[in-house]
Amino acid sequence: MKKLSLFLFLTTILVFGLIVPVSALPITGTFTFEGHEYEVVSSDSTWEEAKTEIAARGGGWYFADITSELEQNFIADFLGHGAVQSIDLVWVGGHKVGGTWVWDSTEASIPLPGSASYQNWASGEPNNNNGIGPPELYLALDKRDKRDWLWNDANLEGAYGDAYYVSGYIAERVSPVPEPATMFLLGSGLIGVGVFVRRKFKR
């Protein structure tokens, strides 16, 4: 029995030590959607700082973009009912370049209100805060005033007057496929456990 317990323990350490990612960022929630992995990070970073932090992670991570109603609803549902409850604005990968809103990861244009393509701007947005204060060049999901994570343009720091509302950002990547070596180790470990248990019970 002791040998079996030790074998199971070592197998678990070997297998899961290889396939569980380790991150130094303060991850507050993870989820997957249609082959993509998302991580909601609790942070007061500006949009540009968040972009730098995501790039530093490597591993195919990029600033999240939202290109369908189904994806928007899935993210909003997670933010409204998942690990994150107290945040007001969450950065995603939209920003304004030369007068055009684009997604940072693909440089694809972000439709404006009235477009036939998918967009989810809050009523009256984007409005650049009517020209008051710093320019609003960055896209955030907005939970304030019961907006339920509609899109809003915000300035670099997510500030309105003297108040700062940004409390996080969303990173995204294509869900990684386990490498063959990892799958081989996992399969070998499970087979080994099965053989060991079978022999044990035959005695």
| Cα 199 from Cα 91, distance rounded (Å) | 56
In a domain, 57, yes or no: yes
Residue 121 bridge partners (DSSP): 151
In a domain, 182, yes or no: no
In a domain, 106, yes or no: yes
In a domain, 2, yes or no: no
Q: So what's the pLDDT on residue 179?
A: 57
In a domain, 130, yes or no: yes
Q: So what's the pLDDT on residue 195?
A: 43
- In this predicted model, what pLDDT tens digit does every residue of 189-198 receive, in sequence order? 545 545 444 5
Q: Is the pLDDT of residue 134 over 60?
A: yes
In a domain, 7, yes or no: no
Domain that holds residue 110: 24-176
Instruction: List the CATH number of the domain containing 92.
Output: 3.10.100.10
Q: Is 131 or 203 the better-scoring residue by pLDDT? A: 131
The model carries a pTM of 0.72
Which residue, among 170, 169, 171, 166, has the nearest Cα to 89 in the 3D structure?
166
Q: Considering the chain, what is the average pLDDT of its residues?
A: 79
Q: How far, in whole angstroms, is CA 24 from its chain's centroid?
A: 15
In a domain, 148, yes or no: yes
Q: Indicate the number of domains in the chain.
A: 1
